[in-house]
Structure 1
């Protein structure tokens, strides 16, 4: 009897340790495995430079602003030639930085033009056991077997006039791979069967609303999230001009809010029963373009613009970086460096502090601190709370637009030329 009890305890303990290890060793999506900017780690690096606490540093072929994803001992990136003629995947060993696999997935003879600040490999992949999914917008979407590095399926038949290049990252939810292809003509979101790549559903933005808009105001680059609201599985997609909540299983639009114009990038958030979405750029009353942050009760139906918006804030709201919420406080860094801390439930200002530099990368909360990394690779680490508390400053050489991944005791950071493991 005692032997059986010991065996049960051993099995339970082993499963618990494996579960904890799996949670801290994997980083499966843009902004983490839960798409919330939180790293499930107990320790994280506080001090580093080009010569200090770098476990390994390896060159990355081509150019891409996509963020790394990690599963087990593999780190995956997408990249592309600067001219957009070739599109790559790269897989590195987590412990050593050794290149395990590199392949050219797609080619384009006459690729669409992109904005000078974008790349042809900006969408972040997503990963699960045995499979990694990669996306280059109009240029192609694919699934790769991570055990043998063979391509499982490819799609090159999903059109999009990006205008400024692709940027929306992938979302994996149960058996579905969610892709956003929202350009200047017939913007849409689709759910693909993750096993075959076949389309399960496709939802084109309503023509009666979008066709009268100038083409430039139809495009967006956001990455969606899935939430559960009153038992409904909702895909939250803050597109250009308005936000849509879809039934993630069917694509049906459950509710919408209308906010403005152009180029939504920042990812939605979900906290304590509220959805937080970013409007993208708005042009009103001859003001310089600005962005609004909305808090929405997600339980409504139809047009909920006038009924379910709990608060709206518009003073130095970021257009590109996504905020992070920690213990009821929202921390957001404006593209030009102003950090704003808000009460997430009321939208009231708690504090503001300006950091140096410009920001594209979204802040990440890891091991009790928030990491803000600017475009020049300078990282300011801040203690969350009711006042601004700087913990440390660090930097690496080069340009950083990707979101870092935190796994185990390492920070995986991508610049324009290198991939770093920092400990």
Structure 2
């Protein structure tokens, strides 16, 4: 059996297992990378004090999501230094008490660098596999550490970011993959997860006027092939995760600053096209080459997200626009079941748990609605507007981990 077929079969088994038996929250958007929480009794009511199991201060500023392994929570942060730079740190807390166990500087960013007012110097979410943590800070460096925060390797890839960094990495077998979409050059890279050495580096085959984007890849198995789907400016590409060879692409000229992570299900990949005219595309991922004219199944352009990722729940797809319009869509046909203004502005990606969808806005309010073809709001919960809330959730058991501008909350029924 060929090596690529073996990898594809292993990937399919991993995806099935992760969907059937959720465990720790080890990457951006959880075990499947698609915002699906374990079957748990998450709270639907809380405030700045009610049902707050603990609240811990986190130094610096970052919009990376927490990741969880057993009794520990890990997250990154960027702490300003006197020399106009930042210490890019990895932080470890006790998940039961919120106690700070340690904080270690992984990379020292000593150059002056600007970020967008809605971004940070530590926006990518770490990823955990076995006894290793992989942290990514865009062009300032990528590192692998032990569970105690001791650095095993570092790698730095040069490109010029616009508005800072954002996309998180994904693991495919022995390869750590992430997108490097700057203003000067755009490429996707696969690093050897054991050594940090470059296994492959594939340039984006586009001539985008604004090449910068911030999306997180999604690993899928479709058409009998392992694929890593990587949206960028002007086009989305699927690559072979072991070699970086392009499998297919779909063009959307003019789209840039793409942030949302794709989702996959019902035989389709769903991606957002970024700023200018934000669109949601449904793509059949079984093709080869440029499949813009043949494998694009439907497209929606009205009130689609620039920043929050889509959420697939069974046969329905849910999205929220940055300006607060939530939409429920038939995933197979693109038919809109409902579209409602739920208020607020949104950056964080939504999550589903026990048939309920959690939309978190930028001012500390979470709107909970039923996952249904009919719009049914259940509750609204606020931790107050004192701190911005741009980071996406993490889940531990029956509790919700919510990161605000300066704190990490664990929210659960008391």
* TM-score, structure 1 normalization: 0.89
Q: Which residue of 1 is the match for residue 4 of structure 2?
A: none
Q: Which residue of 2 is the match for residue 402 of structure 1?
A: 391
In the alignment, which of 226, 247, 256 is matched to residue 254 of structure 1?
247
- Runs of 4+ in structure 1 deviating by more than 3 angstroms, as ranges, are 22-25
Q: Are the aligned partners of 1:71 and 1:128 in contact in 2 as well (CA < 8 Å)?
A: no
Give 3-state SS (helix, strand or coil) of 1:203's partner.
strand
Q: Are the aligned partners of 1:290 and 1:316 in contact in 2 as well (CA < 8 Å)?
A: no
Q: Are the aligned partners of 1:41 and 1:407 in contact in 2 as well (CA < 8 Å)?
A: no
Structure of greater Rg: 1
1:359-414 CA distance string (max 9 Å, x none) = 00111001221000100010011111111111111111321111111121111110
In the alignment, which of 42, 48, 52 is matched to residue 44 of structure 1?
42
Q: Are the aligned partners of 1:405 and 1:411 in contact in 2 as well (CA < 8 Å)?
A: yes
Whether 1:267 and 2:261 are equivalent positions in the alignment is yes
Q: Are the aligned partners of 2:394 and 2:402 in contact in 1 as well (CA < 8 Å)?
A: yes
Q: CA deviation at 1:23?
A: 4.8
Distance, in Å, in 2 between the alignment partners of 1:73 and 1:25 is 12
What is the total number of aligned residue pairs between the two structures?
389
Distance, in Å, in 2 between the alignment partners of 1:149 and 1:353 is 44
* TM-score, structure 2 normalization: 0.91
Q: Are the aligned partners of 2:63 and 2:119 in contact in 1 as well (CA < 8 Å)?
A: yes
Structure 1 segment 43-62 matched on structure 2, within 5 A: 43-62=41-60
Give 3-state SS (helix, strand or coil) of 2:278's partner.
strand
CA RMSD of aligned residues (A): 1.5
In the alignment, which of 317, 327, 330 is matched to residue 330 of structure 1?
317
Q: Are the aligned partners of 1:230 and 1:299 in contact in 2 as well (CA < 8 Å)?
A: yes
Give 3-state SS (helix, strand or coil) of 2:410's partner.
strand
Distance, in Å, in 1 between the alignment partners of 2:22 and 2:247 is 35
Q: Are the aligned partners of 1:25 and 1:70 in contact in 2 as well (CA < 8 Å)?
A: no
Q: Are the aligned partners of 1:112 and 1:163 in contact in 2 as well (CA < 8 Å)?
A: no
**Structure 2 unaligned regions, length at least 5:** 1-16
Q: Are the aligned partners of 2:23 and 2:31 in contact in 1 as well (CA < 8 Å)?
A: no
Q: CA deviation at 1:190?
A: 0.6
Distance, in Å, in 1 between the alignment partners of 2:194 and 2:400 is 31
Distance, in Å, in 2 between the alignment partners of 1:198 and 1:175 is 11
Q: Are the aligned partners of 2:270 and 2:310 in contact in 1 as well (CA < 8 Å)?
A: no
Whether 1:304 and 2:291 are equivalent positions in the alignment is yes
Q: Are the aligned partners of 1:69 and 1:405 in contact in 2 as well (CA < 8 Å)?
A: yes
Give 3-state SS (helix, strand or coil) of 2:260's partner.
coil
Whether 1:317 and 2:316 are equivalent positions in the alignment is no
Distance, in Å, in 1 between the alignment partners of 2:123 and 2:220 is 25
Distance, in Å, in 2 between the alignment partners of 1:84 and 1:263 is 24
Distance, in Å, in 1 between the alignment partners of 2:360 and 2:25 is 18
Q: Which residue of 2 is the match for residue 108 of structure 1?
A: 109
Q: Which residue of 1 is the match for residue 347 of structure 2?
A: 360
Q: Which residue of 2 is the match for residue 34 of structure 1?
A: 32
Whether 1:219 and 2:226 are equivalent positions in the alignment is no
**Structure 1 unaligned regions, length at least 5:** 1-18, 282-288
Q: Which residue of 2 is the match for residue 232 of structure 1?
A: 225
Q: Which residue of 2 is the match for residue 182 of structure 1?
A: 181
